[in-house]
Each structure stands twice: as structure tokens, then as C-alpha cells.
Amino acid sequence: MAIWLGNKRFNFKTAQGQSVVSEVAFVAVPSGIIGGRIYHVISSPNAYFGKGGEPVDALKIWEGGLGIWGAISIGLLGAYLRYKSLGKKVELPSFAVFADALAPGILFAQAIGRFGNWFNGELFGRPLDSWWAVEIPSRYRPSGYSQFESFHPTFLYEAIWCTVIAILIIVLGDKLKAGQSFALYVAAYCVGRFFIEWIRIDTANTIAGLRVNVWVSVLVGAGAALYFARASKRNH
């Protein structure tokens, strides 16, 4: 879906965009998977290198465990390098325009991907007694929560938030300058992820008492917001 929508949006921007998205995705997707896995292992080292951990399991991507921060950053790097190489063969718009075209599709893909957490019984939030709570089998409940049956469906919250951002970017369309759609994606996602991290109860490394992903959300979100503001001034 991300490739299809990205291709439609990019072709609207340039007549030279045929097959560009697919060719870039051929590099960006595996780069993102590798980056996501690296971030996951670095941010959760005890599961693989701590007591009882198996270092070789760090290579078993099929067992789950991808960090969105690593996936987006390394995937974006792979996309940039491939896009620049294609730009030597045919005249293409700036990479910022290309990234803007991809933003909504990536968000929709993230939203769909979050339902994998539901099926795997992982990354849910605090106990919740409400009609929208999700029931988690006892074998998936973390230590100290075995007496609770229903929890915050944080993966659903994130899926909804990603969908809302994607629709917002599509609606705003040409009102945004080059680079702003992707910056809005990153900044807005970080806002949602910041609050979601406060609800989640899965084991995570902390810095100064806060989950690592809280800090990452603040730093990356601030950087994206700054870029959004500067892009607006630069293009006027």
C-alpha cells in the first residue's frame, strides 16, 4: 500500500516518476528491516545478551522485534542513496518532494503493521476495564499483571493516530512546502508516541527514569518540528 500510494503521489509531482518509487523501495524496505532490528536489539540488549539470553536470537527477525526509529532512519538513508543514484540518470525533483510523497503511505503501513502486536499479544498498555480494552492471555501478561485480564490497546491507539496523520497530510496537500509533509509525519507521530509510551507496560530500558522511546520521541519530534518551521520560511 505504501508503494502504491507513494507512486501515485510522486507521479502527480513529476512526469519522470515512473517506477522510481518501486526501485527506491527495493533498497529502502530491506534497509528499514535491518535498521529496525538493529535498533530493537540495541534498545533491548538484555533479551539477547543478558542473563539467560541467546545472542544468536538477535538475528531471528522472523520472531518479531523491530524498532520504528531504526526502521525509518536507516530505511530513509537507503532511500536517499538510491534516489540520488537514480537522479544521475533522469532529472528528478528534490528528495524532500519524494519523501513527502511517501509519508501518508508509510503511515498507513505503520497503522496496519501495529495490528501484528495484537495478534502477538504484545506492546499493550496498563490494565483497563472498559469496552475498548483488549483481553490478553495470561501467558503474555508481564510480571505483576497476571491478575488483570484486559489492558489498554496501545497498538490500536497508534494505528488510529497514524491514520489520522496520514489523512491530514493528504488533505493539506499542496498547502505544505517541500519537505513539510514528511516533517509533519515525523513530528506528529512523535507526539502520539510520547503519550503512548507512558501507557505501555512492556519492559524497556530507561534514562533518568524515563523510557528510552520517550526521550527519542522528544528529540526526534523537536528536530522534525524545527525542520517544518524552517522549510516554511525557506520556501516563502
Predicted TM-score (pTM) above 0.85: yes
Going from the C-alpha of 12 to that of each of 87, 109, 136, 174, the distances in angstroms are: 17, 21, 44, 11
The predicted-structure confidence for 201-216, as pLDDT tens digits, reads as follows: 988 888 999 999 999 9
pLDDT score for 71: 92
- Closest of 39, 37, 27, 33 to residue 80, by C-alpha: 27
Question: Does residue 236 carry a pLDDT above 60?
Answer: no
The predicted-structure confidence for 180-203, as pLDDT tens digits, reads as follows: 999 999 999 999 999 999 999 988
CB atoms within 10 A of CB 158: 22
The predicted-structure confidence for 37-89, as pLDDT tens digits, reads as follows: 998 888 777 778 877 777 888 887 877 778 888 999 999 999 999 999 998 88
Any residues with CB less than 8 A from the CB of 74 and at least 6 apart, and which?
A: 31, 32, 34, 35, 36, 38
Could you give the CA distance from residue 216 to residue 139 in angstroms, rounded to a whole number?
A: 30
